Structure 1
Amino acid sequence: MAEETKEAGRKTRIAAVGDIHVKETDKGKWVDFFRKASEQADVLVLCGDLTNTGDEMEAEVLAGELKACTIPVIGVLGNHDYEKGRHKLIRATLQNENVHILDGEAYVVGDVGFAGVKGFGGGFDKHMLSMFGEGAMKAFVQEAVEEALHLERALTRLDNEYDNLKKIAVMHYSPVKDTVVGEPEAIFPFLGSSRLAEPLNRKQVIAAFHGHAHIGTLEGHTSAGVKVFNVSKPILQKAGYECPFYLFEV
């Protein structure tokens, strides 16, 4: 776990967006976006689906565009980044001293700790899938359980290694039903899982950011009142954000 210092007493401004789906033909498209984020925020959070088809060439284009970003970048991968099984290569392509792609790890900027996982599906609340039946169904649920455990461990490390740290969670899949409302109900189990909300509540996280549900809802909260923001780029554009990132101050 690494950290960067920040001027004492000043709030941290977080710019958050998900589902940017960078393509090989996008060279030059994102420079202004990253410059504007750098001007308005202290940290840029990228909530998965960083590439369009999970190709390393797309990641190379994004890595070049991210050079315009002068603030720390904290991100996670999404299902699109896993599409071709090249997620490890994509992560390695993007990762550098300024870009931190988290997978069950944490990164600290000043007095704010960021814990990141991809997350997974499984459904919400009373309709959450249980580990019962065929092996394939058990494996699906187990993936959701393991992602929640990775998030819990990252948040626990922040608690163990720092005092009075403000905690932010970054993921691709949603931890609550609130922020996927608008999507067809039939696909809710594939958009997130309440298992991801449990560590947010236990560890008193201030806010969680995710993407994935392109026609969901911007804001929601967990049962314990943790703020949850679906910052998928299409949602931010629909909400009228001219430069599609959500600004949050902590």
Structure 2
Amino acid sequence: MEGETEGARLKVAALADLHVGETDKHAFRDLFAEISRTADVMALAGDLTNLGTVQEAEVLAEDLHSCSIPVVAVLGNHDHECGCAEEVTRILRQVGVCVLEGSSTEIDGVAFVGVKGFAGGFGRFMLGSFGENAIKTFVSETLQESLRLENALRAVRPGRVVVLLHYAPIVDTVKGEPPEIYPFLGCSRLAETIERFPVSAIVHGHAHHGTFEGRTASGVPVYNVARMIEKPGGKPYHLIEI
């Protein structure tokens, strides 16, 4: 950002959708070690496990021992599949991961703010809270995630801020997926919340066949860092300098 010296810039390696399974022994150990040599912070944008089991979280935690830099993360929908999200979070925190759940942390002058986010659609195609209770409950989930994100953003000092999500905040980074499933890949309500605050960058995952880069209406860069997405440099992670 303007006014920051080059030496003060923080290198953030952002990655999502690891989908670690119980048999994936040391699948990411070498990658985490490489990231530790390349970046100052690793940011994991959800779907860290495949089914959200305790065993999968333990496999991931073992690989994270090879990471020697700070790690911040949010959970994704896969991490909630088995109803063990609290236990998954506990296991990751035991190995030093800062799991953000509507909260923030600051590393070398950069604030990291994170929520999982939720679905609901984009722009004028966003689902409205009208009709059956099931629809209202669905929309309420996104509203609650947006409120948690807003509260976390209010708590950080203005400056260099990175937002971690799992679900996409804009439609541009889900393009490449079938249009029929866009409403289930993210929601513009997340971007509307973020736009009210000075933010340096946004990272998310979830859209495995989406588009790497986009921007919010005010120009904040948004990166789809799902492991399957082709990124500059050919690595499964994207290196952002903040």
Range into which the TM-score falls when normalised by the shorter chain = over 0.9
1:63 to 2:61 alignment: yes
- Counterpart of 1:176 in structure 2 is 170
Q: Give the aligned residue type for 1:225.
A: G
Q: Deviations over 1:133-162 (max 9, x none)?
A: 100000000000010111111111003xxx
- Residues 36-115 of structure 1: matches in 2 within 5 Å? 36-96=34-94, 98-115=96-113
TM-score under structure 1 normalisation?
0.92
Q: Is the contact between residue 121 and residue 184 of structure 2 (CA under 8 Å) also seen in structure 1? A: yes
Q: How far apart are the structure 1 equivalents of 2:232 and 2:12? A: 18
C-alpha distance in 1 between matches for 2:221 and 2:232: 21
Residues 37 and 69, structure 1, Cα contact 8 Å, conserved in 2: yes
- Partner secondary structure for residue 218 of structure 2: coil
Structure 1 residue 8: deviation in Å? 9.9
Aligned partner of 1:197: which letter?
A
Contact kept? 2:159, 2:198, Cα under 8 Å? no
Distance in structure 2 (CA, Å) of the matches to 1:126 and 1:213: 20
Consecutive unaligned residues of structure 1, counting only runs of 5 or more, are 1-6
Q: Is the 8 A contact 1:176 1:192 kept in 2?
A: yes
Amino acid at match of 1:119: G
Report how far residue 98 of structure 1 moved. Answer: 2.7
State the alpha-carbon separation in 1 of the partners of residues 76 and 146 from structure 2.
15
Mapping 1:169-208, distance limit 5 Å: 169-208=163-202
Kindly indicate whether the alpha-carbon contact (under 8 Å) linking 2:119 and 2:184 is maintained by their aligned counterparts in 1. Answer: yes
| TM superposition score normalised by structure 2 | 0.95
CA distance in 1, matches of 2:89, 2:77: 13
C-alpha distance in structure 2 between counterparts of 1:111 and 1:117, whole Å: 20
- Report if the CA contact (8 A) 1:200-1:226 is conserved: no
Deviation, 1:241, is 4.8
2:61 and 2:95 in contact (8 A); partners too = no
More helix by share: 1
> Equivalent residue for 2:22?
24
Cα distance in 2 for partners of 1:228, 1:242 equals 18
Structure 2 equivalent of residue 248 of structure 1 = 240
State the aligned residue count. 238
2:232 and 2:238 in contact (8 A); partners too: no
Aligned-residue identity in percent: 47
1:191 and 1:242 mapped to 2: Cα distance? 24
**Contact 1:33 1:243 survives alignment (8 Å):** no
Q: Distance in 2 between matches of 1:21 and 1:240?
A: 22
Matches within 5 A, 1:116-127: 116-127=114-125
The 1-side partners of 2:56 and 2:169 are apart by 28
